[in-house]
Amino acid sequence: MESATLTRSAPGSIRLARLRAVQPTTWAKIALAAICLLALVGYFALPTYPTYDSFYALLWGRDLLHLHLPDFRVYRGPTEHPLAIAFGMVCSIFGQGGARLMVLGSIASFVAVVAGIYRLGRLCFGPVVGLLAGLLLLSRFFDENLAAQGYLDISYVALIVWAIVLEVERPRRGAPVLLVLAAAGLLRPDAWVLSGVYWLWCTWRAQGDQRSAGTRLKYLALAAIAPVVWVFVDTIVTGNPLYSLNSTAGLAQELGRTQGFASVVGSVWTFGVRIDKLPVIIGALAGLPLAIWLTPRRVRTPLAALALLLGVFILEGAAGASVIDRYLMGAATMLLLFCAVALGGWSMLRPGSMLRRAWMLGAAALLAYGVASAATTLSLSSLKTTLAYHEDFHEGLALALDNPAVKAELRRCPLLSLPNNKLIPDARWILDSVGQHDIVARSQARADVAKRSHTLERRILRGSVAVYPLGSAVFFEAIVDVGDDPRDQIPLAGFRRIYTSRYYAVYANC
């Protein structure tokens, strides 16, 4: 018998082999758990409060919780979002802590977007592309900043991404996708177009089916949920079924947020670079044709979604709606997927091929460019400072309004004036017992005077408490805008100072 020699594998190689044997889905679950943990750490480490639109969702939700109809006809009020109001009603159950819960919901939505873009990339182009898409999104501080401030747009993007995932998993899936799009449509009307197009897509092949008529009607009912609910809410609250659409267009024109068609098209590039950064946009432009060449069938759904999201943004802007960078976030998120194809699409090629090696070199160059660009432009301290200011301004206002002298003056003449509309929802949330018509903006009074109406001006002068931002709060856009009249920052004659802090001074003439 020939002798045989047994060779023991090194411990390191055994551990490496075990790691390689772990399924990608297992790694994905571990990564998701880690992201959730990091999100919670960030939530408690950087406490912030909701932004303007989200605070109004909280206020209107609190009104419903107390069985009162909300008032959408407020000075420069945001568009109402039925699903956000419903969530605000749930958050309001927890009192003042509801504001932080609103932010937690937005952060959870960001985690859902990360999970969704990974899932979409893995389904369409493999686990490497999915991983890179998720990492790209995690490195978008524009998105994370909005999530930390409770913006509703993050939740909208999460629903859109998961609707695309559901469709990719099972083409023409129907009801589940339409229900997710309906939820998105209760946050932004953009999703109404996506629901309508998806309804056409699902029913086009059903023409010869005996059940096609019933299927088309069922899907049409699902696609109509969001606009019907939105119109119903507007009708009940305002008596005008198109109130949200009309008021949004009017406010956009008043605030100078409207643009012509050519300007809207140009803003796609400007906003895309602002959200995703130039290296990612370049990678996405390269990844688009590569994805079409590599997987022409699997790329159809994300490509169609990107085209629709871009088209809706351009058409809405050209029609007179507000043109704001965060309205492009859905399309910008889809561009991350195609940039991930440029970075990791080589994984779909035959190992060892020249094309695969050349692609890997190109991807490495793009990655190096992105890292160098981030190193020269990214400022984590600036991001942290912005979030800290957001918290300080809210907490500072709460302390000012809770001061005994201020509370005593508010009891004598319960009319509170602020420089503009931006602090009104914060003040209303803090002063739960003060009626909404007793918190006003001095900019509104000045605008009324220009229209020959002195009613609000007389109310303020007759007896009120006035809040004036100080120091850095004056130059922070969330408090005082560059378009405000400087005279609204000057204490009125006859008012005496009763409180001063780092960020606010309070005057009264009661």
Q: Tell me, yes or no, whether 1 lies in a domain.
A: no
The strand order across the sheet containing 504-508 reads 439-441, 416-418, 465-469, 504-508, 496-500
- Residue 261's pLDDT is 79
Please compute Rg for the chain using Cα positions: 26
Q: Are 505 and 470 in contact (CB under 8 A)?
A: yes
* Whether 373 and 411 share a structural domain: no
Torsion of CA 231, 236, 241, 243, to 10 degrees: -100
Tell me the residue type at 221: A
Q: Any idea which residue has 């919901």 for tokens?
A: 105
Helix (H) or strand (E) holding 23: none
* Whether 346 and 400 share a structural domain: no
Q: Tell me, yes or no, whether 360 lies in a domain.
A: yes
* Whether 354 and 476 share a structural domain: no
Could you list the beta-strand ranges (E) of 397-438: 416-418
Full residue range of the structural domain in which residue 451 is found: 383-508
Q: Tell me, yes or no, whether 423 lies in a domain.
A: yes
* Whether 352 and 388 share a structural domain: no
* Whether 352 and 424 share a structural domain: no
Written as six digits, the tokens of 408 are 């005593």
Give me the number of domains the chain comprises. 2
Give the model confidence (pLDDT) of 11-28 as tens digits. Answer: 555 665 665 666 777 878
* Whether 223 and 276 share a structural domain: yes
* Whether 321 and 405 share a structural domain: no
Return d(Cα 469, Cα 449) in angstroms, integer: 23
* Whether 418 and 271 share a structural domain: no
Report CA torsion sign: 229, 233, 239, 241.
Answer: negative
Q: Tell me, yes or no, whether 446 lies in a domain.
A: yes
Rounded to 5 degrees, φ, ψ at 319 are -80, -5
Please give the model's pTM, rounded to 2 decimal places: 0.91
* Whether 406 and 372 share a structural domain: no
Q: Tell me, yes or no, whether 304 lies in a domain.
A: yes
- Residue 323's pLDDT is 84
* Whether 371 and 392 share a structural domain: no
Q: Tell me, yes or no, whether 10 lies in a domain.
A: no
Q: Which of 325, 344, 378 is the last residue of a domain?
A: 378
* Whether 285 and 412 share a structural domain: no
Determine the angle formed by the axes of helices 380-401 and 404-412, rounding to 10 degrees.
Answer: 60
Weakly modelled stretches of the chain, pLDDT under 70: 1-22, 205-211, 249-258, 379-385, 433-436, 473-483
* Whether 222 and 161 share a structural domain: yes
Q: Tell me, yes or no, whether 392 lies in a domain.
A: yes
